[in-house]
Amino acid sequence: MRVLAAMSGGVDSAVAAARALEAGHDVVGVHLALSRAGGTLRTGSRGCCTIEDAMDARRVADRLGIPFYVWDFSERFREDVIDDFVAEYRAGRTPNPCMRCNERIKFAALLERALELGFDAVCTGHYATLREGPRGLELHRSSEEAKDQSYVLGVLTAEQLAHTLFPLGETPSKDIVRAEAERRGFSVASKPDSYDICFIPDGDTRGYLAEKVGAEPGEIVDRSGEVVGSHEGAHAFTVGQRRGLKIGVPAPDGKPRFVLEVRPVDNTVVVGPKEALAVSEIAGSRWTWAGAEPDDQATPFACDVQIRAHADPVPAVARIDGGELVIVPDEPLTGVATGQTAVVYIGTRVLGQCTIDRTASAAPVEA
């Protein structure tokens, strides 16, 4: 097979490319340039897709003896990931830019170009597995639960899965991957993992949003509408947040308050007790299935739901109702914000996902 290896400059994608080559595939490496800022440099272990990362990826490709290219996807990345991120925060939602990047860049724009150029598949260093099921290819969790990345791949469609390789999926430990990179003589063997948001390499998300969205002072209110404090910009708050609240009026019971809602229209942050964060239902109108769809989507079916990349899956019941994927957890979820992604599993298999548009409170509590 002709395989295009997406090489981020990290150890995972390096070993994935090496394994694809070792498996007998005709491999070409490509690094995605996602920023046109000439001075974009890596800060510690923050960020990815920087100048240093491109150089690291090229060194690995040279060692493997495979062709290597850098493709400029910066315009598409700005429109589909960065602009979306800012717009979501401006609307009071909490987006996941890694999800959008996988959906619209790595497994849409990149795969589309790869297929146009005659490649059969795209290879990445994600920790997830592909298995042949009774109704076609299925996406499953990695064998290494701590490193499992199936959540951020929940946006992939059946067509995309058919042209994707995950060579690291069955690897039981990241330490094994690093040891393999060391044996292969890769300079990235001990390179730290990237984290946080790649286009905010200094990690100052609040400062970034203040610049992009604007920071206007506003009120913090309880659920009855009483003003209990003030803020310097609603964009800096997310549902479930406790720290950093400037509340001058203590709660009647003396317990801490948490952010329950962000209202960008009137620049207001709503706070209340922890119990009010409990959510009994989530729903989204933007959903996709990763592989074969459920036979009867309108009939409730048992599943697990995961609302963050490193959250524990929670037993639930899901169905398609009124143009939404509606998910009812067996036990209330806590700290769910609109804009987050809910990924639905059946066992280890990723069934699909939706962007959360609305939530229903489990037990309204008076402020």
Return the active site residues.
101, 198
Give dist(CA 136, CA 163) in Å, integer. 13
- Tokens representing 219 are 């009120």
Give dist(CA 299, CA 311) in Å, integer. 26
Give dist(CA 364, CA 367) in Å, integer. 9
Q: Which phi and psi (to 5°) does residue 183 adopt?
A: -65, -35
Helical ranges in the chain per DSSP H: 11-22, 51-64, 74-77, 83-90, 97-101, 110-116, 158-161, 174-183, 205-213
- Tokens representing 87 are 């717009």
- Decide: helix, strand or coil at residue 113: helix
Listed in sequence order, the residues at least 6 apart from 296 whose beta carbon sits closer than 8 Å to its beta carbon are none
DSSP for 229-273 reads EEES-GGG--TT--TT--B-S--TT----EEEEEETTTTEEEEE-
